[in-house]
Amino acid sequence: MDDEEARRPPSPPLPRGGPFRRSSWKSPLRGPWLASFLSSALLPLIAICALTGFLSHAAYETDLSGNALFDEGVDFYFFDWPTSPAWLYVATQGLHIITGLAAIPILLAKLWAVIPQLFERPGARSFAHVLDRIALSLLVGGALFVFATGVLNIQIYYPFGFSFVPAHYFGSIVFLAGLALHIVTKLGVMRSAFRERGVVAPLKEDLEHTRPEPPLEGRHTSAPADPAPPTMTRRLLIGTVGAGSVGLAAMGTGQVVGGPLRDLTFLAPRGESAGDGPNDFMVNKTFEAVDIPMEKVGPGWRLRIEGGERPATLTREDLLGMELIEADLPIACVEGWSTTQRWTGVRLTELARLAEIDSPGGLQVRSLQADGPLRQASLNRGQIESPDSMLALMVNGADLSLDHGFPARLMVPALPGVHNTKWVGEMVFS
Amino acid sequence: MGGGDGVLLRRFAYEYGSNPLHLLAALAALLVSAWALAQALGQLEPPGKFVVWFLGAILLHDLLFLPFYAVLGRLAERAFLRGEARSRLRVAALNHLRVPVILSALAFLVWYPDILAKSSEGFENATGLTKDVYLGRWLLLTAVLFAGSALVLALRARRLRGAG
């Protein structure tokens, strides 16, 4: 026990052996520089991931009736989601998934780099230290929770039992609040570490010149007290983490960009091509999965348009007889994959005119699906008025397949894919 | 008075352990977290599972996952570098094992629901695709990583042996 420790008030009895003994953490690579370097790679990724995550929430426009999957508590989405450029949601949600995947190996490396501090003694140096540690547990728990649920969701695997969207949303707020305090607390450590060691200089050391990080003056860090001789350079450690990061990002990119890059998906779930016919592109929910009786989508199908002076009921032939438009629009899924196809259908404004509705401010589109929270979608004024917004009847020159929403589906530029409602039965303007 | 403020600030720092701004930031962060946790617990069904997953993630990572791979790493280190001199070749061989193991394990960790075809029926219902292909792909990735690493080691071996 050194002098400084002897002066301290007695701290609660913590075990002294194993991980609680500083000298049992052997790696010579750990320390404030490594933690800071990983953080400076992690922070921009998390910033983009968080921003695009909240943008995705904004794109769902939960203030429009029928779009809210849960009560987000405070509504601070004060703008209407735009329709231009059409690939907007492809870009924001693609970035969300790509940056999230890329952050995973860096996050794991960062946790490895600072793990000794979980066991630091005394466990509570001061009131401020206690608050820091509570926030840290929220940060670490929130990060692991948000990344785990996200990764499971994109593979359509739900072992957790609760609803994904609110859990991921509130979990990320816990994570980001903890992160904000962590940044405030640790920015000084990062500055000192980079000033003393240089930002990239430690990456240039070969094995002979790889030395343990010395402790930082006046700071509690993860630098080892009794390091083992190095067996790996910092360059190799960072390089391996970076390779993992780039690899995961590439798999995500394959799903977002598609085309020739589709093969990059490899282990990500949306790399398969279903064939090369006009309807052979990715499906988010098959017809078989939604339990709509066959006769409802047969010749007896009718589209009901309501909300105006003259409610209308149309057959598919009626719709095909109207003025048709064609547009290349993407389906961009919240799971981070997208696919752009050529759609043919009737402009939403045409349908409003037919039912004698003057400049509708909202539209609710309902599917024939009997249940499911996403069987309906609400659109804002801009989305109704976009010249490319349509009730689509055909894709790539052929009738829609049942899996893609026959007899008719909604297609609106920049709308999250799941809101491009399939098997539409009813449209209510307001 | 500046001097008085200074004394007060020092006193605060002594009692609290940091400056007043830290306290403000900490309270703000904890309040926001508490609000979000309360929303999650109030809205999620069942709320117990949210708690289990949140705490479980920390415990699983910090007390099981990380110690497991740390011990594995140390065993490998011991096996490769035991006894006689830590020749550069042996250190290099250890790293040529480490890198493909880390990358293969990372791929498995992230994509295990694909690789082990978890919830494959729900996946087929939703997408019309199958998860049957991923185990083979992951094995292929692993094989390529190990083979590539071994090849590079073989190319480096002569030079490393020469250097001692």
Q: What size, in residues, is chain A?
A: 430
CA angle A243, A43, B110 (to 5 degrees): 45
B117 contact residues in A (CB cutoff 8 A) = none
**Is B162 or B25 the better-scoring residue by pLDDT?**
B25
Per-residue pLDDT for A201 more than 90?
Answer: yes
The answer to whether A364 touches A376, Cβ cutoff 8 Å, is: yes
Per-residue pLDDT for A241 more than 50?
Answer: yes
Residues 42-101 of B with CB under 8 A from A: 43-47, 49-50, 53-55, 57-58, 61-62, 66-67, 70, 74, 77, 81, 86, 88, 91, 94-95, 98-99
The burial class, CB within 10 Å (0-12 / 13-18 / 19+), for A314 is buried
C-beta atoms of A282 and B127 within 8 A: yes
CA atoms within 13 A on the CB side of A127: 13
C-beta atoms of B123 and A155 within 8 A: yes
Helix axes A32-59, A164-197, angle to 10 degrees: 150
Q: Distance, in angstroms, between A22 CA and closest chain B CA?
A: 15
What integer pLDDT is reported at residue B4 of this predicted model?
Answer: 67
| φ, ψ of residue A140 in degrees (nearest 5) | -70, -45
Is the ipTM higher than 0.90? The answer is yes
Strands A338-347 and A390-395, bridge-based pairing: antiparallel
3 state DSSP class of A72: coil
Q: How confident is the model at residue A248 (pLDDT cuts 50, 70, 90)?
A: very high
Q: Distance, in angstroms, between A158 CA and closest chain B CA?
A: 8
The answer to whether A430 touches A363, Cβ cutoff 8 Å, is: yes
Cβ-based neighbour number of residue A40 at 10 Å: 13
CA angle A21, A24, A29 (to 5 degrees): 125
**Is A24 or B28 the better-scoring residue by pLDDT?**
B28
Helix residue ranges, H only, A155-215: 164-197
Average pLDDT score over residue span B46-55:
95
Q: Kindly report, residue by residue over A104-132, the tens digit of the pLDDT.
A: 999 999 999 999 999 998 889 999 999 99
Can you tell me the distance from the alpha carbon of B44 to that of B147, in angstroms, rounded to the nearest whole number?
47
Per-residue pLDDT for A3 more than 60?
Answer: no
Q: How confident is the model at residue A7 (pLDDT cuts 50, 70, 90)?
A: very low
Per-residue pLDDT for A275 more than 80?
Answer: no
* CA-based nearest residue to B31, from B23, B19, B43: B23
The answer to whether A57 touches A77, Cβ cutoff 8 Å, is: yes
B43 contact residues in A (CB cutoff 8 A) = 70-71, 166, 170
- Return the DSSP state at A395: E
- Please report which helix (H) or strand (E) contains residue A337, including its range: none
A207 contact residues in B (CB cutoff 8 A) = 88, 91
3 state DSSP class of A313: strand
Nearest to B110 among A137, A229, A248 (CB): A248
C-beta atoms of A126 and B16 within 8 A: yes
Q: Kindly report, residue by residue over A337-384, the tens digit of the pLDDT.
A: 999 999 999 999 999 999 999 899 999 999 999 888 889 999 999 999
Cis amide bond preceding A32, omega within 30: no
Nearest to A155 among B15, B66, B113 (CB): B113
Q: How confident is the model at residue A15 (pLDDT cuts 50, 70, 90)?
A: low
What integer pLDDT is reported at residue A6 of this predicted model?
Answer: 46
C-alpha torsion sign, points A108, A110, A111, A112: positive
